[in-house]
Structure 1
Amino acid sequence: MLPLVTLIAIIPSLVSAWSSDNHTCALTAPIYSCENTTTIQDTCCTPTQGLVLVTQYWDTYTGLESQGSVLPKDSWTIHGLWPDRCDGSYGQYCDLSRQYDPVPSPNTTTGKSDGTPVEPWTGGDIITPLLEKYGKYDLLAYMQKYWKSQNSPDWTFWQHEFSKHATCFSTYDVGYENTPNCYGSIYENSTESSIIDFLNSVIKNQIQYPTFDWLSEKGILPSNITGYQLNEIQNALTVSSGAEPYLGCYGPTKQILSEVWYYSHSLGRPQDGFLKPINQTTKSNCNTTQPIWYYERTQGSEY
């Protein structure tokens, strides 16, 4: 037991910590983001940019197969977890003290020339050693399998997604520029906590959207000889997910399927994974009159 004089000495600091870092969200009645009719009382418990997007890729190769980087069989891969404002606009690189993206895209906070420059990170991979430091080997292994980059090491993609998107979720704030510290003073390093928290959140929300399975249940499988109508793909995912997602295509006629974005409102923190599906707010860019190609993976690019 601590001596009385020691307890008296630390009480003021404890009171200060409690008053500034009181973010026990279990004690706060959760509300759906973007559905509040009054000011959010604790932005650590409800995101201010509350239009939450769970985004995925369908790539056919990684570009680093010779280095052992291949795509997971029978699964789409993770793109990210994004915070849009409730009007569909969004912020990016909102906390430059947590900028770990080696190739910022865009290279300013606004994406325009008058925005604050986002300086490239030159310190290498911080996520792999961080997860190893805290024994998060299962999380790291899952990310290495399902969160794949194209033509660059996976960690560069993870750090891009954290720096560009996670820092704009108020529920991961760490006290930058007068924002709350959602992790309190009990953690030695709130930045490390926010990174691990975000990575966990990405996985927790992604596994709720098994895109490959939903499409295959409707007979929509990767093929190099059979194309699909956009409404076939859209309807299959809408029925299974509960709302109409955005589908992204590329190519000169926008016929090659490559992305899906699932829109939602979050009940409380996105960390908790309680998402209410809502229809896309951005119109899918895929061709509506010509077949959509959901190509097979390149030989040697999948395991």
Structure 2
Amino acid sequence: MNAIGSSAVCVDAQLSCHNTSAVENLCCFNYPGGTLLQTQFWDTHPVTGPVDSWTIHGLWPDNCDGTYDANCDDERAYRNITQILKHSGAYDLLNDMQTLWVSDSGSSETFWEHEWGKHGTCISTLQPSCYTDYQPTQEVTDFFNRTVTLFKSLPSYEWLESAGIVPSITATYTRQQIQSALGANRGDRSVYLGCRHGALNEIWYFFNVQGSIQTGSFKPSDLVGTGSTCPSSGIKYLPKGAAGPSPTSTTTTTGPSPTSTGPVLSGRGFLDVITSGNKRGCIISRGRWYTSGSCAGFTASPLSGGFTLKSSKGYCGVADGALTCGARIRNAPLFNATKDGTLLYNGAQTFYADGVPRGRKQGMVYTDAEHDTSLTIRWQKR
């Protein structure tokens, strides 16, 4: 590896989120993102990563209270992660990432760029000023190296397996069983468990850090902020490659199912957006949304029990985790809708955004719960 500048030397550093007074040296104290989350995926359809290993989602700084900052330095939102790692001589790290840090909906390179730009740039101990003889982009290698190293210290598959929790088409588990199996390896600290259609697909491990993320000590901490999305019992842990829930299937609940499908949509219409806070907008031709101006027209075409959506830019689908319409979407993925016309993608009716765009500003629409604002999209026939 090329010789590069060293990061700050931290002596008697305080544990992040545990200080009782202001800390001036933010090269040895992570602030405001003092809780660090190592987040992992279990993707079964499509499959990502080895069949006996979870994969990396990211390393996220949280403000010790469930809130977080994002996209903190646009000037360092680099778009060439692979080249940066190669330039630093981190070929083994890159090989690990190509196996363990992969996207289920786009290129891994774009996924890495997103995770670095959104989360890595918000970690105070990775600021360029925290390095002696700083070489441009060296903090990027440190971020990815620490994330992969931390991930390897959290072998979720093995921990679950040792407790008798193994992937299965038929077996189900309780939330407490899963929490106990993982907590037994980290001082009984709780984790966030994410489920989709009742199947386990995400784990978030929480830490406080003593020192910098480059060289500091990660101390397990309890879950901060949002609670798990898994039910208390009946949780599936599907084998990779097992058929996931059909987009047209319904979910049994104690009331009307939020994902029960209605008639297949067809014809021309608009896509209205409604946030959890009852803010309203609409989807425009490239798949983004805004709250003023003219809504784009879409064409719904029945196909194989669902329907495709197309705007003037091309077919609509999900690319790199975001709703997109245009040349990037080539296979015309299927959508479904509930009886009231609420859009379903992979059986889920909730989409997400980084807040509500104002005026004519456009916002991205995402399919993962990492984003602050939840929303639904409803079909309005012309």
Q: TM-score, normalised by structure 1?
A: 0.73
Alignment deviations for residues 117-166 of structure 1 (CA, whole Å, 9 cap, x no partner)? xxxxxxxx511122222221100000001111112111111111100001
Which of the numbers 127, 130, 139 marks the counterpart of 1:173? 127
Q: Which has the higher contact order (CA 8 A, sep 6+)?
A: 1
Which of the numbers 180, 193, 202 marks the counterpart of 1:247? 193
Alignment deviations for residues 193-224 of structure 1 (CA, whole Å, 9 cap, x no partner)? 11111111111211221110100000100111
Instruction: Confirm whether residue 80 of structure 1 aligns to residue 23 of structure 2.
Output: no
Q: 1:269: Cα distance to partner?
A: 1.2
Q: 1:62: Cα distance to partner?
A: 4.2
Q: Distance in 1 between matches of 2:50 and 2:161?
A: 15
Unaligned runs of 5+ in 1: 1-20, 64-69, 101-124, 175-180
Instruction: Confirm whether residue 45 of structure 1 aligns to residue 28 of structure 2.
Output: yes
Q: Distance in 1 between matches of 2:205 and 2:43?
A: 18
Instruction: Confirm whether residue 257 of structure 1 aligns to residue 203 of structure 2.
Output: no
Q: 1:272: Cα distance to partner?
A: 2.4
Q: 1:23: Cα distance to partner?
A: 6.5
Q: How many residues align?
A: 236
Stretch moving more, 212-221 or 71-80: 71-80
**Which residue of structure 1 lines up, in the alignment, with residue 259 of structure 2?**
none
Q: Distance in 1 between matches of 2:111 and 2:6?
A: 33
Q: 1:266, 1:273 within 8 Å by CA — same for their partners in 2?
A: yes
The amino acid that maps onto 2:130 is C
Q: Distance in 2 between matches of 1:96 and 1:235?
A: 40
Unaligned runs of 5+ in 2: 244-382
> Counterparts in 2 of 1:98-137, with a 5 A limit?
98-100=76-78, 126-137=80-91
Q: TM-score, normalised by structure 2?
A: 0.59
The amino acid that maps onto 2:145 is N
Runs of 4+ in 1 over 4 A off after TM superposition: none
Greater helix percent: which structure?
Answer: 1
Q: 1:164 to 1:236 in 2, by over 3 A?
A: same
Instruction: Confirm whether residue 139 of structure 1 aligns to residue 87 of structure 2.
Output: no
SS in 1 for 2:228: coil
**Which residue of structure 2 lines up, in the alignment, with residue 287 of structure 1?**
231
Root mean square deviation of aligned Cα: 2.0
**Which residue of structure 1 lines up, in the alignment, with residue 134 of structure 2?**
187
Instruction: Confirm whether residue 57 of structure 1 aligns to residue 67 of structure 2.
Output: no
Q: Distance in 2 between matches of 1:160 and 1:268?
A: 25
The amino acid that maps onto 2:66 is G
Q: Distance in 1 between matches of 2:175 and 2:93?
A: 34
Alignment deviations for residues 207-244 of structure 1 (CA, whole Å, 9 cap, x no partner)? 22111010000010011111111111111111122211
Q: 2:88, 2:141 within 8 Å by CA — same for their partners in 1?
A: no
> Counterparts in 2 of 1:148-167, with a 5 A limit?
148-167=102-121
Q: Distance in 2 between matches of 1:60 and 1:139?
A: 24
Q: 2:46, 2:241 within 8 Å by CA — same for their partners in 1?
A: no
Greater strand percent: which structure?
Answer: 2
